[in-house]
């Protein structure tokens, strides 16, 4: 007996929270429409009756389901329960679903399949390497099938019931809403949770050479990293922390970065957003040879203007970044707007932020949805006094865009990608795309614990409570 958990998860998630009912209805209406279309197609093809139908669920970054069938006609019912496009491909059989949008279920007819093991992957770049691989076992006695028609019908009835917001449909009895409510409250109660390891610690020079060159040591290595309470992963790091050590340079500095590669693969460092000579750009094998496991390579460059960048591997970036290899590198001071009026709001001439915070976003790999390498409730709150100004730079090292919403306090965008804006602007939600840096400042003008989160809500909540890209500004 197969179930299709993805639509149920979406429904229960939204229902439990009460967040943005309108958005939820629109979203579910879209999903319901898609499933109805898919269901129609399925029941038409399901007429063969004898076909084994196997339910498969795709998400970031796994392929889930009982991938077993008996030899003979096999049909896959593939649901993309993730937040980005995926496909399901079985190269050996020459079959693929093609790209499946999030929240969509499609049917893939494999035809008649002989006994054997078949490799199942998502072919979107980087997804197989991040974990989207599975094996379809076809053998006698492995018949987990239901008829295609009944699976399709279940999918079709499930979702409209969710759309209507009704809990009267018997088929939704698998959800334990009471437990969801309890788990939600429990997740809030844990914040802020203590976990092992702190990222973004300042990187101090190990040595200053006679000519004034600042020499820094970086070691690329895999370490245990507690990403949320009780969840420890094998993180790929610089110097054993996520995000990597924070590098601050002064305009005019010459810096050397001695990188030792203790990873199992070749690597390099790309200084994203920092102006460097061609042979220091860290794009192996174009600008340098790959740094092999066990080898050391020294980067050396002089910085000549204020910049806000980030560093990460370019080689195997799709694996290194989501797994934790990312950090901030900044030259000069963070831009601050003072003594001018923006959209009618006077910014005092003496604004001096009490904190200058890096807010590093990630959403994939073993680190997953996170702020500064931690998932809620292990994210660190921003604690300030009433009336304080804070400056903050978002660094998106993930694979998706994140609309970062701070409750109550408008954010004044002062720079994008480290470039100060001639026309700063106010916004309460800042959409930060992969690779981008947005620098903002805000005034903590009212006491309270103000929630601060990504507004793609399944980056911030799941059935067992808040997680991922959520923290708070605590104003005392």
Q: Which is nearer to Cu ion, 76 or 430 (CB)?
A: 430
Stretch of 93-101, 132-140, 320-328, 455-463 lying at the interface with Cu ion (CB under 5 A):
455-463
User: Least distance in Å: CB of 440 to Cu ion?
Assistant: 17
Binding status of residue 456 toward Cu ion by CB under 5 A: yes
Stretch of 47-55, 128-136, 137-145, 451-459 lying at the interface with Cu ion (CB under 5 A):
451-459
Question: Using CB under 5 A, which of 402, 405, 443, 453 touches Cu ion?
Answer: 402
Instruction: Give the angle subtended at the CA of 394 by the CAs of 452 and 124, to the nearest 5°.
Output: 100
Supply 284's token pair: 């192996």
User: Least distance in Å: CB of 369 to Cu ion?
Assistant: 7
Longest dimension (CA), the chain: 81
Contact string (CB under 5 A) for Cu ion, positions 35-74, x = contact: ----------------------------------------
Supply 287's token pair: 């600008």
User: Least distance in Å: CB of 290 to Cu ion?
Assistant: 32
Q: Are 434 and 335 in contact (CB under 8 A)?
A: no
User: Least distance in Å: CB of 457 to Cu ion?
Assistant: 9
Q: Which is nearer to Cu ion, 54 or 454 (CB)?
A: 454
Q: Are 120 and 90 in contact (CB under 8 A)?
A: yes
Question: Using CB under 5 A, which of 11, 443, 459, 462 touches Cu ion?
Answer: 459
Query: Under 8 Å CB-to-CB from 119, ≥6 apart: which residues?
Result: 90, 91, 92, 133, 135, 136
Q: Which is nearer to Cu ion, 124 or 371 (CB)?
A: 371
d(CA 133, CA 394): 32
User: Least distance in Å: CB of 402 to Cu ion?
Assistant: 3
Please spell the DSSP secondary structure of 391-447, one letter per residue: EEEEEE-SSS-EEEEESSS-EEEEEETTEEEEEEEEESEEEE-TT-EEEEEEE--S-
Query: Under 8 Å CB-to-CB from 134, ≥6 apart: which residues?
Result: 62, 63, 64, 65, 67, 120, 121
Binding status of residue 453 toward Cu ion by CB under 5 A: no
User: Least distance in Å: CB of 346 to Cu ion?
Assistant: 33
Can you say whether residue 18 is alpha, beta or left, with left for phi > 0 and alpha for psi between -120 and 50 degrees? left
User: Least distance in Å: CB of 335 to Cu ion?
Assistant: 25
Q: How far apart are the first and last CA of the chain?
A: 54
Q: Are 233 and 227 in contact (CB under 8 A)?
A: yes
User: Least distance in Å: CB of 459 to Cu ion?
Assistant: 3
Question: Number of residues in contact with Cu ion, rule: CB under 5 A?
Answer: 4
Closest CA to 37 of 155, 169, 166: 155
Stretch of 234-242, 287-295, 399-407, 437-445 lying at the interface with Cu ion (CB under 5 A):
399-407
Q: Which is nearer to Cu ion, 222 or 460 (CB)?
A: 460
Stretch of 19-27, 84-92, 380-388, 401-409 lying at the interface with Cu ion (CB under 5 A):
401-409
User: Least distance in Å: CB of 304 to Cu ion?
Assistant: 35
d(CA 196, CA 232): 9
Stretch of 171-179, 260-268, 395-403, 417-425 lying at the interface with Cu ion (CB under 5 A):
395-403
Stretch of 267-275, 333-341, 377-385, 397-405 lying at the interface with Cu ion (CB under 5 A):
397-405
Question: Using CB under 5 A, which of 454, 470, 472, 475 touches Cu ion?
Answer: 454
d(CA 128, CA 82): 15
Binding status of residue 406 toward Cu ion by CB under 5 A: no
Binding site for Cu ion (CB under 5 A): 402, 454, 456, 459
């Amino acid at each position: 007996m197969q179930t299709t958990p993805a639509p149920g998860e979406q429904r229960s998630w939204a229902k439990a929270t009460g967040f943005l009912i309108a958005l939820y209805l629109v979203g579910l209406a879209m999903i319901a429409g898609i499933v109805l279309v898919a269901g129609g197609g399925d029941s038409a093809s399901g007429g063969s009756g004898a076909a084994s139908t196997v339910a498969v669920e795709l998400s970031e970054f796994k392929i889930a389901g009982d991938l077993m069938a008996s030899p003979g006609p096999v049909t896959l019912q593939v649901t993309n329960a993730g937040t980005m496009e995926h496909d399901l491909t079985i190269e050996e059989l020459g079959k693929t679903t093609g790209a499946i949008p999030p929240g969509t279920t499609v049917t893939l007819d494999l035809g008649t399949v002989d006994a054997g093991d078949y490799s199942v992957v998502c072919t979107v770049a980087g997804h197989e390497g991040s974990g989207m691989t599975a094996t379809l076992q076809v053998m006698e006695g492995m018949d987990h099938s239901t008829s295609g028609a009944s699976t399709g019908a279940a999918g079709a009835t499930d979702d409209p019931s969710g759309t209507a917001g009704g809990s009267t449909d018997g088929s939704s009895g698998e959800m334990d809403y009471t437990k969801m409510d309890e788990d939600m409250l429990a997740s809030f109660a844990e914040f802020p949770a203590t976990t092992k390891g702190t990222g973004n610690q300042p990187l101090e020079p190990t040595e200053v050479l006679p000519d004034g060159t600042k020499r820094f040591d970086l070691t690329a290595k895999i370490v245990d990293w507690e990403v949320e309470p009780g969840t420890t992963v094998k993180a790929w790091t610089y110097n054993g922390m996520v995000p990597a050590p924070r590098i601050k340079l002064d305009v005019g500095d010459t810096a050397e970065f001695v990188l030792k590669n203790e990873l199992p693969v070749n690597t390099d460092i790309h200084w994203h957003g920092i102006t460097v000579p061609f042979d220091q750009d860290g794009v192996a094998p174009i600008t340098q040879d790959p740094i092999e496991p066990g080898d050391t390579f020294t980067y050396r460059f002089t910085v000549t203007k204020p910049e806000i960048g980030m560093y990460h591997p370019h080689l195997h970036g799709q694996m290194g970044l989501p797994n934790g290899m990312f950090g901030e590198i900044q030259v000069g001071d963070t831009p601050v707007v003072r003594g001018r009026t923006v959209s009618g709001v006077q910014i005092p001439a003496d604004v001096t932020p009490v904190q200058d915070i890096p807010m590093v976003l990630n959403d994939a790999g073993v680190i997953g949805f996170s702020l500064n390498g931690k998932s809620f409730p292990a994210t660190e709150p921003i604690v300030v006094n009433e009336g304080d100004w804070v400056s903050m730079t978002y660094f998106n090292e993930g694979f998706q865009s994140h609309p970062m919403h701070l409750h109550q306090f408008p954010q004044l965008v002062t720079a994008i990608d480290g470039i100060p804006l001639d026309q700063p602007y106010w916004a309460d939600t800042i959409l930060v795309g992969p690779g981008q840096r947005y620098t903002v400042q805000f005034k903590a003008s009212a006491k309270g614990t103000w929630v601060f989160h990504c507004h793609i809500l399944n980056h911030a909540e799941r059935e067992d409570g808040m997680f991922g890209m959520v923290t708070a500004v605590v104003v005392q």
